[in-house]
Amino acid sequence: MALVVWFLLGVLEREVQKAEEQSANLILNQLRASLVIKGAEVMLSRNGRLEEHQDLNPFELVNHQWPSYKGLCKESEFQPGTWCFRQEEQKVTVNIARGWLIYTANQPITLNGRGAQAGELLAWRVTTEFADRNKNGQREQSERSTGLKLSPVSSGEQTVLMQDARH
pLDDT, tens digit, for every residue of 145-166?
A: 788 999 999 766 655 555 555 5
What's residue 34's pLDDT?
93
Q: Give the span between the Cα atoms of 31 and 27, in whole angstroms.
A: 6
User: Where residue 51 falls among pLDDT bands split at 50, 70, 90?
Assistant: confident
Q: What is the pTM of this model?
A: 0.79
Residue 45 has pLDDT above 50, yes or no: yes
CB-based contacts of 157, cutoff 8 Å, min separation 6: 123
Beta carbons of 128 and 51 less than 8 angstroms apart: yes
Burial of 15 (0-12, 13-18, 19+ CB in 10 A): exposed
Higher pLDDT residue, 21 or 65? Answer: 21
Higher pLDDT residue, 93 or 17? Answer: 17
Mean pLDDT value across residues 131-149: 75
Worst-scoring range by mean pLDDT, 12-21, 57-66, 96-105, 151-160?
Answer: 151-160
The conformational region for residue 112 under phi > 0 = left, psi -120 to 50 = alpha, else beta, is left
What's residue 167's pLDDT?
46
User: Where residue 143 falls among pLDDT bands split at 50, 70, 90?
Assistant: low
Mean pLDDT value across residues 51-56: 89
What's residue 38's pLDDT?
92
What's residue 10's pLDDT?
74
What's residue 83's pLDDT?
93
User: Where residue 128 falls among pLDDT bands split at 50, 70, 90?
Assistant: confident
H/E segment holding residue 158: helix 155-166
What's residue 58's pLDDT?
92
